[in-house]
């Protein structure tokens, strides 16, 4: 187990509905995600990306297969244990930010630690530090509605990393932002979210963000059909516009189980 990556999926199957209306969202996913890498999951709508990150994040129960997060088998955890696991080890960045509109910026960030059982005072102090890291140290008392989309996403990033999670799941973090704001968010993620021992998974449609990745998996119809390993080049992020997605020829591609079908 010493060589086991932080996230390992083997033969993961997930369906919705039954009979003629049954939808096979995941059809035997095999996937390893290493610590310290920025892993992107791409593919057309309905291909199973969201289902896959929901399973990886422990908020959706898979039907078959094995999901191991940091050596722990997710399918053997009770809902309560999974909640605790998420509170301790998983951070989320959502497409629509999902900030609590009636809490100010600092309270929104602190809530992650409060869920984990920390006192409000400690959580608020830590939130102030984390917001400072993302460049919003001067907006602690602002309400989310008073912030731009980019600023709201930075608050969401602060919220997602404040408890130093082992897994960071980002769902379309730039799709609600313009090019410049999206670039800033991706730069921020690369700068402060990636560290040894943490796996970062980003689901995206935004091909401008591919250049920030270390590895890209392409999904189609519930299968991972292609893996592309990239070498992140900090110099390239200022290029505009970004090149469209697509696995450059000759790159190492690992076909998922489904690809054999």
Partner 1 sequence: MIRTALTMLVGDRAKFLGIVFGLAFASLLITQQAAIFRGVMVLVYGHVTDTPQVDVWVSDPGMPDFDTNDMINERELDVVRGVEGVRWAVPLNRRVLYTRKPDNEISPIMVMGIDDGSLIGAPLPEAMVCGSVDDLRRPNTVIIDEHSAATKLAVEGPDGVLKPMQVGDRLRANGTDIEVVGICRSTLALMLYPTAYMLRSQCSQLDASSDQSFNFILVGLAGGADPAATCARIDAATGLSARTSADFCRHVYDFFLYKTGIPANFGIAVLLGFVVGAAIAGQTFSQFVSDNRRTFASLKAMGMRNGRLAGILLVQAVASALVGYGLGVGAATLFGVALAGTDLSFRLEPELMAFSFVSVLVISIGAALVSLRSVVRLDPALVFRS
Please state whether the peptide bond connecting residue 241 to the residue before it is cis, i.e. omega within 30 degrees of 0: yes
DSSP string, 113-159: HHHTT--HHHHHHHHHHHHHHTT-TT-TT--GGGS-HHHHHHHHHHH
Q: CA-CA distance, 168 to 38, in Å (whole number)?
A: 10
Contact 73, 67 (CB under 8 A): yes
CB of 20 or CB of 145, closer to partner 1: 145
Quote the least distance from Cβ 206 to partner 1, whole Å: 14
CB of 35 or CB of 60, closer to partner 1: 60
Q: CA-CA distance, 94 to 182, in Å (whole number)?
A: 13
Quote the least distance from Cβ 110 to partner 1, whole Å: 8
Angle between the 179-188 and 149-161 helix axes, to the nearest 10 degrees?
Answer: 20
Q: What is the DSSP letter of 242?
A: P
CB of 112 or CB of 151, closer to partner 1: 112
CB of 63 or CB of 187, closer to partner 1: 63
Quote the least distance from Cβ 120 to partner 1, whole Å: 6
Quote the least distance from Cβ 103 to partner 1, whole Å: 6
SS3 12: strand
Q: CA-CA distance, 186 to 63, in Å (whole number)?
A: 33
CB of 160 or CB of 218, closer to partner 1: 160
- In degrees, to the nearest 5, what angle opens at C-alpha 169 toward C-alphas 233 and 193? 45
Quote the least distance from Cβ 202 to partner 1, whole Å: 13
CB of 6 or CB of 144, closer to partner 1: 144
Residues binding partner 1 (CB under 8 A):
50, 53-54, 57, 59-60, 80, 83-88, 90, 92, 94-96, 98, 100-103, 107, 111-112, 114-116, 120, 171-172
Quote the least distance from Cβ 240 to partner 1, whole Å: 26
């Amino acid at each position: 187990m010493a060589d086991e990556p932080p996230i390992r999926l083997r033969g993961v199957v997930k369906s919705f509905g039954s009979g003629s209306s049954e939808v096979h969202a995941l059809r035997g996913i095999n996937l390893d995600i290493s610590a310290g890498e920025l892993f992107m999951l791409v593919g057309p709508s309905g291909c199973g990306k969201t289902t896959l990150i929901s399973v990886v994040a422990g908020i959706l129960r898979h039907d078959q297969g094995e999901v191991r997060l940091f050596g722990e088998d997710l399918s053997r955890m009770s809902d309560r244990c999974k909640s605790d696991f998420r509170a301790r080890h998983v951070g989320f960045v959502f497409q629509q930010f999902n900030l609590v509109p009636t809490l100010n910026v600092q309270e929104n960030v602190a809530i992650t630690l409060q869920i984990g059982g920390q006192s409000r005072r400690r959580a608020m102090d830590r939130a102030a530090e984390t917001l400072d890291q993302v460049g919003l140290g001067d907006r602690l008392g602002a309400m989310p509605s008073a912030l731009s989309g980019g600023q709201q996403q930075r608050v969401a990033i602060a919220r997602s990393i404040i408890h130093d999670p082992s897994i960071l799941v980002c769902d379309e973090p730039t799709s609600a932002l313009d090019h410049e704001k999206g670039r800033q968010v991706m730069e921020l993620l690369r700068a402060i979210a990636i560290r040894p021992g943490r796996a970062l998974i980003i689901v995206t449609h935004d091909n401008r963000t591919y250049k920030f990745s270390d590895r890209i998996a392409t999904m189609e119809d519930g299968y991972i059909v292609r893996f592309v390993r990239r070498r992140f080049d900090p110099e390239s992020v200022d290029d505009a516009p970004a090149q469209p997605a697509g696995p450059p020829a000759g790159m190492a591609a690992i076909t998922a189980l489904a690809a054999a079908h």
